[in-house]
Structure 1
Amino acid sequence: MRVLVVDDDKLVCVSLKTILEAEGDISVVGIGNNGKEAIELYDRLKPDILLIDIRMEAMTGIEAGEAILKKDKNAKILFLTTFSDDEYIIKALNIGAKGYIIKQNFECIIPSLRAVYAGQSVFGDDIVSKIPSLINSKNKTDFLSLGITEKELEIITVVAEGLSNKEIAAKLYLSEGTVRNTLSIILDKLQLRDRTQLAIFYYKNK
């Protein structure tokens, strides 16, 4: 696993490099100290995961992440920050970040990197619990008018509950393949990047 680490605290960067590379299967391919460096290094090094702080001079991690995802929609970005501010959480979710973890939860960093590398999204329980209230809106959307069928809406609803494909299949009496294919169709119809953005869309428009 190739990881790019960006944090405005150089000591944090060096410490993370030491800790991560002690794992053996993780290589820190570069270190940056602000958002602009994150973009430059990501373009040049093409890491598997960008592990980045949020509050930095010159350009924030959120701004850098958004710029990177505009150019590479498959970029895996994991935010590591001391701040659990609601504004940052919702921005991270909206741009399509794969995770948002708090530095104080130090033991979660390596498991979170592995989960993101495996294609999962990682948000701590304290953050997940905030999501519905942060993004809920009074605006209602007629999903059927967007071409979403009742069965697809049923799948969207359980995705928003945080269920995995296997759990959705069991709950709705479908095969995992059907769930996976239907989810791809839904994302294509709504022009969304992943299941995290789908959950956000649902809560905003239900």
Structure 2
Amino acid sequence: MKVLVVDDDALVSQSLVTILSVEADVEVVGVGNSGPDAVAKYDQLRPDVLLMDVQMPGGDGLTAAEQILAAHPEARIVFLTTFSDDDYIFRALKLGARGYLVKQDIAQIAPALRGVMAGVSVLEGHLLERTAKLAPGAGTGAGRSRRATVFASLTDREYEVVEAVADGLVNAEVAERLFMSEGTVRNHISAILAKLGLRNRTQLAVAWYHSGN
């Protein structure tokens, strides 16, 4: 697979090139250092996977990803960052990114890229089945289909909590929207995670975004 690496830290970029170059099935075709650089080099090199940082002084990766995906909806973009932050992850998923990895998990990078090439999404080293993205008009046919499959075991109230979490709301905001206490929200989220076999609210949001039809 052909990989384009974009990171504003030259040492990180060189380390990634070194790590990936020893893999027999990986070819690093280019290196960039900013969002605009990523857009230009993607158009020029057309890599199989773009491995990109989120925060870069010369232009952030999320904005670059939005521009690239607008022109190339099939683009495989994987974010590699030190910021394991729900807000970044939600925004990346909404844009259509195929993965979100933290830089500490160096050993997971090559396997994660192979997973992306095979058609799955990757979140912090964990492979997740990739189905259709959340379509416009949640709550219509797509919403009913989602409820009938992945979230069938949830109560109506739990499902409303899932929707709020998928919108990126923190517990206080979920409580305000659904007219319940924060303690009740926490209890619902714990019950939901247990029913679905998930570890945290980030995985819950990922399940939501990849469950639409």
Distance 1:142 1:22, change over 3 A: closer
Q: What's the offset of the Cα at 1:25?
A: 1.3
- Written as runs of structure 1 = structure 2, the 5 A alignment for 1:66-145 is 66-124=66-124, 143=139
Q: What's the offset of the Cα at 1:87?
A: 1.7
* Aligned equivalents of 1:142, 1:101: Cα separation in 2: 27
Where does residue 202 of structure 2 map in the other structure?
none
Q: Is the 8 A contact 1:29 1:45 kept in 2?
A: yes
Question: For residues 94-144 of structure 1, what are the alpha-carbon distances to aligned partners after superposition, in whole Å with 9 as ceiling and x for unaligned?
Answer: 111101010011111111111011111001279x9xxxxxxxxxxxx883x
Distance 1:201 1:27, change over 3 A: closer
Q: Does 1:154 align with 2:151?
A: no
- Written as runs of structure 1 = structure 2, the 5 A alignment for 1:1-206 is 1-124=1-124, 143=139, 146-148=140-142, 153-155=147-149, 157=151, 199-200=208-209
Q: Is the 8 A contact 1:5 1:32 kept in 2?
A: yes
* Aligned equivalents of 2:56, 2:143: Cα separation in 1: 44
Q: Is the 8 A contact 1:49 1:77 kept in 2?
A: yes
Q: What's the offset of the Cα at 1:18?
A: 1.4
Distance 1:6 1:153, change over 3 A: same
* Aligned equivalents of 1:43, 1:56: Cα separation in 2: 19
Amino acid across the alignment from 1:25 = D
Aligned length, in residue pairs: 151
* Aligned equivalents of 2:138, 2:31: Cα separation in 1: 46
* Aligned equivalents of 1:51, 1:149: Cα separation in 2: 31
Q: What's the offset of the Cα at 1:155?
A: 3.1
TM-score by length of 1: 0.65
Q: Is the 8 A contact 2:112 2:125 kept in 1?
A: no
The SS at the match of 1:157 is coil
* Aligned equivalents of 1:153, 1:202: Cα separation in 2: 9
Distance 1:25 1:121, change over 3 A: same
Distance 1:198 1:74, change over 3 A: farther
* Aligned equivalents of 1:97, 1:149: Cα separation in 2: 21
The structure carrying a bigger helix percent of its residues is: 1
Alignment gaps of 5+ in structure 2: 129-136, 153-204
Alignment gaps of 5+ in structure 1: 129-140, 159-195
* Aligned equivalents of 2:60, 2:16: Cα separation in 1: 19
Q: Is the 8 A contact 2:105 2:125 kept in 1?
A: no
Identity of aligned residues (%): 45
